[in-house]
Amino acid sequence: MTMEYASLGRSGLKVSRLCLGTMNFGPHTREGESFTLMDAALEHGINFFDTANVYGSKRGEGVTESILGRWFAQGGGRRERVVLATKVYGEMGEGPNDHRLSAYHIRAACEGSLRRLQTDHIDLYQMHHIDRETPWEEIWQAMEQLVQAGKVLYVGSSNFAGWQIAVAQGEARARRFMGLISEQSLYNLRARSVELEVLPACRALGLGVIPWSPLSGGVLGGSPSPDSKGRRSGEPASKALQENRAQLAAYQKLCTDLGEAPANVALAWLLANPAVTAPIIGPRTMDQLTGSLHALNLQLAPETLARLDEIWPGPGGAAPEAYAW
């Protein structure tokens, strides 16, 4: 298998069509196993790694970033071969300025991430959520300073609405700043609301789309048991299985008829969307990693895509045509 690469939004940055998510590293995947998975991802051509300062389940400690930092510290060109993405917004302490997107916190959070990641720069610094209390002139000034200092190369968003992306880009353009090059959104066969306005905004303004939870917490990859480990295991997954039992049965039958694993069909469906740059995969085992790679070679026929729309209907396309003329 030859890895495919695509430009991230309108930038010249090339990233692999699959992004390695690291949220499980620490809480569910031990450090040594995490190192093995990251080495294997690089060997298979995955050069895009995503993390966040709040990953690791211990507030303020940046457990997952620290694991990546110790992996980078092994050398062997690891850091140089990775397009490194992390995030800012979440709580990193108990103080009133230890979260959100004030210039004060952006600067402190960036320095903390750089220290834990054992690197001198972050390739893609993503705002983990919109901050309704901080003005864009403050946010963009803080980001500009990080870019000018060489500590951040590109800026992205995560969990933004379409209109918020538009406002952010308008404010950036007024400052003659590049602004956002990507948006990381919840997007999968079960969660398609971003098709209304987020995806159209990204396509119009030149942002790459990085879907998180492409398998809907494992629900689209098979039937997770209540005691399974991972990002969205346990009660939420069990509830989803109950609520979508008929749809999941139809989906499983379609995948069986295709002779493909459900997880690969879900990833291939995302990869077939021209707005999508790279879904985030969060493997906990080597089999899960290598299995995800198969989706890159899986071309879904038009009739298969139509059947998936029947099983998992979206909002009806882009707004306003989805609900008006």
* Number of Cβ within a 10 Å radius of residue 297: 11
**Mean pLDDT for the chain overall:** 95
Q: Which residues pair with 276 in a beta bridge?
A: 209
Residues 6+ apart with CB under 8 A from 151: 110, 114, 120, 121, 122
Contact criterion met (CB below 8 Å) for 192 and 314 = yes
* Number of Cβ within a 10 Å radius of residue 54: 25
Which structure tokens are listed for 35? 């190192």
CA-based nearest residue to 44, from 297, 243, 265 = 297
What stretches of the chain show up as alpha helix (H) in DSSP?
31-43, 63-72, 103-117, 136-148, 162-174, 198-205, 235-243, 245-258, 262-271, 286-294, 302-311
For residue 229, pLDDT over 70 is answered with no
Domain 5-311 has CATH 3.20.20.100: yes
pLDDT of residue 275: 98
Mean pLDDT throughout 264-286?
Answer: 97
Tens of pLDDT along 65-124?
Answer: 999 999 999 999 999 999 999 999 999 999 999 999 999 999 999 999 999 999 999 999
For residue 148, pLDDT over 90 is answered with yes
For residue 253, pLDDT over 80 is answered with yes
Catalytic residue among 55, 89, 125, 154: 55
What's 232-263 look like in SS3?
CCCHHHHHHHHHCHHHHHHHHHHHHHHCCCHH
pLDDT of residue 233: 55
pLDDT of residue 325: 95
Tens of pLDDT along 19-66?
Answer: 999 999 999 999 999 999 999 999 999 999 999 999 998 999 999 999
pTM: 0.96
For residue 225, pLDDT over 50 is answered with no
In the residue annotation, 55 being an active-site residue is answered as yes
pLDDT of residue 234: 64
Question: In degrees rounded to 5, what are phi and psi of residue 186?
Answer: -70, 120
CA-CA-CA-CA dihedral for 160, 161, 163, 169, to nearest 10:
20
